């Protein structure tokens, strides 16, 4: 799987940005991606060594208002990446590169 097809976008929340100080980053990834695909993609895009990768599958969710289904969110997959050597990432790089291609 290609690097920019594996990583969809970074997760930007208060918790994920606070984890960046501990060299841990969260990314939304392709549902078919494996830990090895994510590790190779981070190496290719950011030129950083990855210590560990944890994968989380999120369930599909629906939002209801007065017994009507208003919004449906598809199932997603998230990768939590821990880096070696104390290197920091600029997580905005993924969006810029995919926009160019």
Residues 44-101: tens digit of each pLDDT:
988 899 999 999 999 998 888 888 888 888 999 999 999 998 788 887 766 445 444 4
Domains and their CATH numbers in the chain:
3-85 (3.30.70.330)
DSSP result, 69-89 = EEEEE--EEEEEEEESTT---
Output the pTM of the full model. Answer: 0.81
Q: Report pLDDT for 26.
A: 95
Closest alpha carbon to 19 in 59, 77, 79, 75 = 79
Can you tell me the mean pLDDT for 1-29?
91
Neighbours of 23 (CB within 10 A): 17
* pLDDT, tens digit (0-9, with 9 covering 90-100), for 6-18: 999 999 999 998 9
């Amino acid at each position: 799987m290609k690097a920019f097809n594996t990583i969809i976008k970074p997760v930007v929340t208060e918790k994920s940005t606070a984890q960046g100080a501990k060299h841990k980053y969260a990314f939304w990834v392709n549902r078919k991606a494996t830990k090895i695909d994510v590790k190779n993609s981070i190496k290719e895009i950011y030129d950083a060594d990855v210590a560990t990768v944890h994968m989380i599958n999120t369930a599909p969710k629906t939002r209801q208002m007065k017994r009507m289904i208003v919004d449906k969110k598809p199932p997603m997959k998230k990768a939590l990446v821990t880096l070696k050597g104390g290197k920091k990432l600029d997580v905005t790089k993924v969006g810029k590169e995919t926009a160019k291609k």
